[in-house]
Structure 1
Amino acid sequence: MTDLANPSETLRRLEYGATIDEALEFFDALPAVTVPQMLGNWSGGEVPTGNPMDGLLGRFGWHGKRFDSPEDVHPLVMVRDGGGRFSLNPALVPLPTLLRYPAALRNATLARIARTAGPLLATTAPTARLRMTEYRGVVSATMCYDALPIHDVFRLVDDDTVLGLMDLRGLEQPFVFVLRRE
């Protein structure tokens, strides 16, 4: 399944849907990413694997992530209805509680309300940091949330694309996502 000669093509196939085992096999085959390689603005997408988080970030207006420096990270850059972007404060998102009720998260009315109310939960302060950590046997750049038990671990697909695994305490399998440099 994993084509190391053309990881960008493998990723394109996985973005249509994959098993968690296929996604993890691909992740494990990719090289580590350094902290300096992560700096900048990134747009986000996902690799659907059957995770309870599949489809949720986009539904709530997630655009991507912004890494200003190793100490200044904005993990939830959102699209503002009517245009523009803002950084959502993850500390104000009751993610562990919400994940206990996945059907509610898929409710279209709740998504509209959350997108409308999202700017009220905005912050200009960074809410995460970048560190090198070991995950699945490889030391790679990892985004550590300040207020939530979440680590996003990155591996290099190409110079402008990384594959990420969101490791959240209490979530049985990692959420698989992709970031593309803007």
Structure 2
Amino acid sequence: MANTMTSAQSGLAELEPGTDANTALEFFDGLKPTEIEDLIGNWRGTELPTGHRLDGLLAKAGWHGKRFDDSETVHPLVFERPDGSLFAIDPAWLPMSLLTSQVALAQRLARPGLVRLASAFARTTRPRARLRMTRFRDVVSATMIYDALPINDVFRTVDADTVVGAMDMRGYDVPYFFVLRREGARPLA
């Protein structure tokens, strides 16, 4: 049987176990731009480890992914409960100082149980981001802009059901990378 994997898919498969920031940037730059319409739906996220100081943080916290209902209705931080139900967190509750100057402490504190506990205060059903087309690294592509944080997630397309995100965050010279894979519709609780 012939291999039907595209070069973008095989390139991502090679990088997912771990790579460095320069290799990830080179791969990202070679991907096609993403259109806003292509992101509409539910997405399961995984980190693309590059040695970034934030590597592992979302996985430790039990991050599930993102949800894009339309360009104005975006849930950037979706988590999963033990029963499989999904809930969104308002990113405005994130202590930005932990993510920029106290990353080691944030890494130690990140636990799914702690996120579920914090969801009593931070859980939301309201959108907390929006999508716009922006220029990043000389390419115009779909970008998720957080409402309350100095963060833009810029997307590039691997295939119709897979995108790579580059989190462009104030305080970091290189992006934090992640992968989103489309999944079926699941309600937010």
CA contact 1:66–1:73 (8 Å) conserved in 2: yes
CA distance in 1, matches of 2:159, 2:70: 21
| Structure 2 residue ranges without an equivalent (≥5) | 184-189
SS in 2 for 1:106: helix
Aligned counterparts of 1:114 and 1:178: Cα–Cα separation in 2 = 24
RMSD, aligned α-carbons: 1.6
**75-84 vs 65-74, which moves further:** 75-84
Distance 2:15 2:30 in 1: 14
Runs (5+) with no aligned partner, structure 1: none
User: In 1, Cα distance between the equivalents of 2:110 and 2:163?
Assistant: 30
Stretch of structure 1 that moved more, 115-124 or 52-61: 115-124
**Partner of residue 115, structure 1:** 115
TM-score of the superposed pair, with normalisation by structure 1? 0.92
Matches within 5 A, 1:23-38: 23-38=24-39
Query: Structure 1: which 4+ aligned runs deviate by more than 2 Å?
Result: 95-99, 109-116
| 1:131 maps onto 2:132 in alignment | yes
Q: Does 1:171 align with 2:172?
A: yes
Query: Which residue does the alignment assign to 1:92?
Result: 93
Q: Is the 8 A contact 1:81 1:115 kept in 2?
A: no
Corresponding residue of 2:40: 39
Shift in Å at residue 13 of structure 1? 1.2
Aligned to 1:7: 8
TM-score, normalised on structure 2? Answer: 0.89
Q: Distance in 2 between matches of 1:98 and 1:32?
A: 28
Report the number of matched residues: 178
- For residues 175 and 93 of structure 1, what CA distance do their matches in structure 2 show? 17
